Chains A and B, each alone.
Chain A
Amino acid sequence: MADSLLSYISLAMILFSIGLLGVISRKNIFIVYMSIELMLNAVNLIFISLGRYYESMEPQVISILIIAVAAAEAAVFLSLIVVLYRRKRSLDSDIFNILSQKSAS
Chain B
Amino acid sequence: MESNDIVYLLPLLVVMIGAITMMLLSTFSSVSIKKGAYYSLMFLFVALISNLYNLNSSSEIYSSYPYIGIFKKMIIVDTYSGYFSSILLFGAILTLLIGLQYLEKHKEFTVEFFSLFLFSVLGMMLLVHVNELITGFIALEIASLSMYVMIGFQKVLDKRVEASYRYLVLGSLAGIFFLLGTSFIYAVTQTTTIGEIGEFAQNYVGTDMPLLIIGGTMILITFLFKIAAFPFQNWVLDVYDGAPLPVTAFMAATFKIAIFGFVLRLVLVDFDSIRDFWDDMLFVITIATLAYGSFLAIIQTSIKRMLVASSIVHTGYLLIAFISIGIIGESAASSIIFYLVAYFLSAIGAFGIVSFISSDERLRITYDDFKGFAHVYPYRAAMLSIFMLSLAGIPSTIGFIGKFYIFTAAIEAGYTILAVIGIIATFISVYYYFKLIAIMYFYPSPKIVEDVPFSGVGSITIGLITILIVWGGIGNTLISYFPGVDFLIDMARLSYESLFIR
Q: Is the CB–CB distance between A56 and B190 below 8 Å?
A: yes
A19-66 at interface with B (beta carbon < 8 Å)? 23, 29, 32, 36, 39-40, 43, 46-47, 50, 54, 56, 58-59, 62, 65-66
Q: Is the CB–CB distance between B190 and A80 below 8 Å?
A: no
With A59-B186, A98-B158 as contacts: A80 and B358 at CB distance below 8 Å: no
Q: Is the CB–CB distance between A16 and B180 below 8 Å?
A: yes
A81-105 at interface with B (beta carbon < 8 Å)? 83-84, 87, 96, 98-100, 102-105
Contact with B145, one of A36, A73, A103 (Cβ below 8 angstroms): A73
A103 to B172, CA, bound (A): 25
Contact with B176, one of A43, A58, A77, A80 (Cβ below 8 angstroms): A43
With A16-B180, A23-B173 as contacts: A76 and B168 at CB distance below 8 Å: yes
A24 to B190, CA, bound (A): 32
Q: Is B34 an interface residue (CB 8 A)?
A: no
With A23-B173, A80-B152 as contacts: A99 and B138 at CB distance below 8 Å: no
B159-183 at interface with A (beta carbon < 8 Å)? 159, 161-166, 168-169, 172-173, 176, 179-180, 183
Q: Is A1 an interface residue (CB 8 A)?
A: no
Q: Is the CB–CB distance between A40 and B169 below 8 Å?
A: no
Q: Is A11 an interface residue (CB 8 A)?
A: no
Q: Is A69 an interface residue (CB 8 A)?
A: yes
Interface size class of A (residues with CB under 8 A): 35 or more
With A50-B183, A56-B190 as contacts: A104 and B365 at CB distance below 8 Å: yes
Task: With CB as the reference atom, state the residue of chain B lying closest to A77.
Answer: B168
Q: Is the CB–CB distance between A65 and B242 below 8 Å?
A: no
Q: Is B238 an interface residue (CB 8 A)?
A: yes
Q: Which residues of B contact A104 (CB under 8 A)?
A: 302, 363, 365
Task: State the majority secondary structure of interface residues on B.
Answer: helix
Task: With CB as the reference atom, state the residue of chain A lying closest to B176.
Answer: A39
Q: Is the CB–CB distance between B152 and A98 below 8 Å?
A: no
Q: Which residues of A contact B166 (CB under 8 A)?
A: 96, 99
Q: Is the CB–CB distance between B161 and A87 below 8 Å?
A: yes
Q: Is A2 an interface residue (CB 8 A)?
A: no
Interface size class of B (residues with CB under 8 A): 35 or more
Contact with B161, one of A58, A83, A102, A105 (Cβ below 8 angstroms): A83
Q: Is B134 an interface residue (CB 8 A)?
A: yes
Q: Is the CB–CB distance between B165 and A62 below 8 Å?
A: no
Q: Which residues of A contact B165 (CB under 8 A)?
A: 29, 80, 84, 96
Q: Is B187 an interface residue (CB 8 A)?
A: yes
Q: Is the CB–CB distance between A105 and B163 below 8 Å?
A: no
Q: Is the CB–CB distance between A23 and B169 below 8 Å?
A: yes
Q: Which residues of A contact B78 (CB under 8 A)?
A: none
A98 to B166, CA, bound (A): 12
Q: Which residues of B contact A87 (CB under 8 A)?
A: 158, 161
* A23, A62, A65: most-surrounded residue (chain B CB, <10 A): A62
Q: Is the CB–CB distance between B176 and A47 below 8 Å?
A: no
Task: With CB as the reference atom, state the residue of chain A lying closest to B245.
Answer: A105
Q: Is B270 an interface residue (CB 8 A)?
A: no
Q: Which residues of B contact A73 (CB under 8 A)?
A: 141, 145, 172
Q: Is B241 an interface residue (CB 8 A)?
A: yes
A87 to B158, CA, bound (A): 8
Shortest Cβ distance from B171 into chain A, in angstroms?
9
Q: Is B192 an interface residue (CB 8 A)?
A: yes
Q: Is the CB–CB distance between B190 and A54 below 8 Å?
A: yes
Q: Is the CB–CB distance between A105 and B145 below 8 Å?
A: no
Q: Is the CB–CB distance between B238 and A100 below 8 Å?
A: yes
Q: Is the CB–CB distance between A69 and B137 below 8 Å?
A: yes
Q: Is the CB–CB distance between B163 and A47 below 8 Å?
A: no
Q: Which residues of B contact A43 (CB under 8 A)?
A: 176, 179-180, 183
Q: Which residues of A contact B365 (CB under 8 A)?
A: 104-105
Q: Is the CB–CB distance between B172 and A36 below 8 Å?
A: yes
Q: Is B149 an interface residue (CB 8 A)?
A: yes
Q: Is the CB–CB distance between B163 and A62 below 8 Å?
A: no
Q: Is the CB–CB distance between A66 and B179 below 8 Å?
A: yes
Task: With CB as the reference atom, state the residue of chain A lying closest to B134.
Answer: A62
A103 to B241, CA, bound (A): 9
Q: Is B155 an interface residue (CB 8 A)?
A: yes
Q: Which residues of A contact B230 (CB under 8 A)?
A: none
A47 to B365, CA, bound (A): 49
Q: Which residues of A contact B134 (CB under 8 A)?
A: 62, 65-66
Q: Is B148 an interface residue (CB 8 A)?
A: yes
Q: Which residues of A contact B137 (CB under 8 A)?
A: 66, 69
B interface residue numbers (CB < 8 A to A): 134, 137-138, 141, 145, 148-149, 152, 155, 158-159, 161-166, 168-169, 172-173, 176, 179-180, 183, 186-187, 190, 192, 238, 241-242, 301-302, 304, 358, 363, 365
Cβ contacts A to B, 30 pairs, < 8 Å:
A29-B165, A32-B169, A36-B172, A36-B176, A39-B173, A39-B176, A43-B176, A43-B183, A46-B183, A50-B187, A54-B190, A59-B186, A62-B186, A65-B134, A65-B138, A66-B137, A66-B179, A76-B149, A76-B168, A80-B161, A80-B168, A83-B161, A84-B161, A98-B159, A99-B163, A99-B238, A100-B238, A104-B363, A104-B365, A105-B358
- Closest 8 A-B residue pairs measured CB to CB? A99-B238, A46-B183, A43-B179, A96-B162, A39-B176, A69-B141, A99-B242, A83-B155
6 extra A-B contacts, CB within 8 A, seeds A36-B169, A98-B162: A16-B180, A36-B176, A43-B180, A50-B183, A73-B145, A77-B172
